[in-house]
């Protein structure tokens, strides 16, 4: 497989799509990957630790400059072409899917781009990242557009800053109160490594995964139950965490450890306590996973993945029956560990599986989902891949 994974497969298609819509070939093609979060769920906005990796599913952006101040954006995902003048670019004027790419253009202005001086652009977008599956098609589109505009507008922003640009677009233009994890993975990923990110300092280290050498593959099980982080549960969980931190007298849950659990149990109501316990124990699991990957390799991390799922299901209460079934079926059919991944309320689970057990597990999943009357999951393996860039 080429280093860029599936993006190479759709590059020609994207260039053609651009030409069909805008009438001339693009000036360049940029892309950014989706991500799988190996472990560290709902820890990012608590200023804790995460361990995601970029996957070989990418969002590809074809770009052509314009000689006026207009931004036009089209996607294979949607029928209409969205258009706005750079002079009118404010978060409240952006809506639907185009709030992601146009929000990035606005956010670049917040990070120093002079939007009155840069030229307009036409953008056309296609993706092999499943949308709304918890693999962060949102960060993939943001990061692809961010690197493209950073190049053509010659902004010279570094990758950690571009991650903050994407997050600002998602928070303010889309209205989803998500953390910095997804954009960091999409921008900082490298083949066969996870990005160990401290979401307070924003310092990151690459951690070798070594799945192939250990005879393992990472199977994504997309339940087809879609989620929406701009509404409901995600924001509610975030508010609980903020309340828990305030009542415990710390700036963020990151500042609490396992030793603080007895006091948390006394101070907090039972629901908030369980939310807080998830975050505290999940941060510890990320640290333990990094240590085990470095000392013993991926065969040693299965139990941490399993425990993470239990914590998300029982303490954080963001799993759904389809995700639980995917995880349980994987565990009963040879996976060394499995958990839901992403923000929850739907989306995908991941299972770390010996390579020769993948097809048996896929059959078992199909059977189990049919038996429960759930629609068939989509399953595919992913490999840790390179981050956003040109081509």
Catalytic residues: 182
267-306 footprint of ligand ADP as x/- string (CB under 6 A): ----------------------------------------
CB of 118 to ligand ADP, least distance (A): 22
Beta carbon nearer to ligand ADP, 13 or 356: 13
Element (H, E) at 30: strand 28-39
Beta carbon nearer to ligand ADP, 179 or 347: 347
Residue 133 touching ligand ADP (CB under 6 A): yes
The window from 8-16, 137-145, 273-281, 376-384 that contacts ligand ADP (CB under 6 A) reads 137-145
CB neighbour list of residue 123: distance below 8 Å, 6 or more residues apart:
61, 62, 63, 71, 72, 73, 74, 101, 145, 148
Element (H, E) at 53: strand 49-65
Instruction: Name the residues that contact Mg ion, by CB under 5 A.
Output: 136, 138
Residue 179 touching ligand ADP (CB under 6 A): no
CB of 16 to ligand ADP, least distance (A): 16
CB of 133 to Mg ion, least distance (A): 9
How does DSSP classify residue 173?
I
Element (H, E) at 206: strand 204-208
Among ligand ADP, Mg ion, none, partner that 131 touches (CB below 5 to 8 angstroms by kind): ligand ADP
Beta carbon nearer to ligand ADP, 82 or 368: 82
Residue 132 touching ligand ADP (CB under 6 A): yes
Give the span between the Cα atoms of 185 and 182, in whole angstroms. Answer: 5
Helix, strand, coil % over all residues of the chain, rounded to 5: 45, 20, 30
How does DSSP classify residue 31?
E
What are the helix (H) ranges across 172-320?
181-188, 233-248, 261-267, 270-295, 302-310
Residues forming the site for ligand ADP (CB under 6 A) = 59, 75, 77-78, 97, 100, 125, 127, 131-138, 141, 228-229, 342, 347
């Amino acid at each position: 497989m080429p280093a860029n994974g599936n993006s190479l497969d759709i590059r020609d298609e994207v260039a053609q799509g651009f030409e069909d819509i805008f009438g001339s070939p693009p000036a360049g093609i940029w892309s950014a990957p989706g991500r799988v979060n190996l472990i560290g769920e709902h820890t990012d906005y608590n200023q804790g630790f995460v361990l995601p990796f970029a996957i070989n599913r990418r969002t590809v952006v074809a770009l052509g400059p314009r000689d006026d101040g207009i931004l036009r954006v089209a996607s294979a995902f949607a029928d209409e072409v969205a258009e706005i003048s750079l002079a009118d670019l404010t978060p409240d004027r952006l809506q639907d899917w185009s709030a992601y790419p146009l929000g990035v253009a606005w956010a670049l202005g917040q990070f120093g781009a002079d939007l009155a001086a840069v030229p307009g652009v036409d953008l056309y977008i296609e993706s092999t990242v499943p949308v709304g599956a918890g693999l962060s098609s949102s960060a993939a589109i943001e990061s692809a557009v961010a690197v493209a505009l950073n190049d053509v507008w010659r902004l010279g922003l570094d990758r950690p800053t571009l991650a903050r640009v994407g997050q600002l677009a998602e928070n303010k233009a889309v209205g989803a109160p998500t953390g910095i994890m997804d954009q960091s993975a999409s921008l900082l990923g490298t083949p066969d490594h996870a990005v160990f990110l401290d979401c307070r300092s924003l310092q990151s280290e690459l951690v070798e995964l070594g799945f192939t050498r250990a005879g393992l593959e990472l199977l994504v099980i997309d339940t087809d139950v879609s989620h929406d982080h701009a509404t409901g549960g995600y924001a509610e969980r975030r508010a609980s965490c903020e309340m828990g931190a305030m009542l415990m007298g710390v700036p963020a849950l990151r500042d609490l450890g396992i030793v603080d659990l007895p006091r948390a149990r006394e101070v907090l109501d039972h629901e908030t306590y369980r939310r807080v316990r998830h975050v505290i124990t999940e941060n510890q699991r990320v640290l333990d996973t990094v240590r085990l990957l470095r000392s013993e390799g991926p065969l040693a991390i299965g139990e941490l993945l399993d425990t993470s799922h239990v914590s998300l299901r029982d303490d954080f209460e963001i799993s759904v029956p389809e995700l639980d079934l995917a995880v349980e079926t994987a565990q009963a059919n040879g996976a060394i560990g499995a958990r839901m991944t992403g923000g929850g309320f739907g989306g995908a689970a991941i299972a770390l599986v010996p390579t020769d057990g993948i097809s048996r597990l896929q059959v078992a999943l199909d059977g189990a989902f049919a038996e429960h009357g759930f629609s068939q999951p989509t399953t595919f393996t992913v490999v840790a891949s390179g981050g956003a860039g040109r081509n």
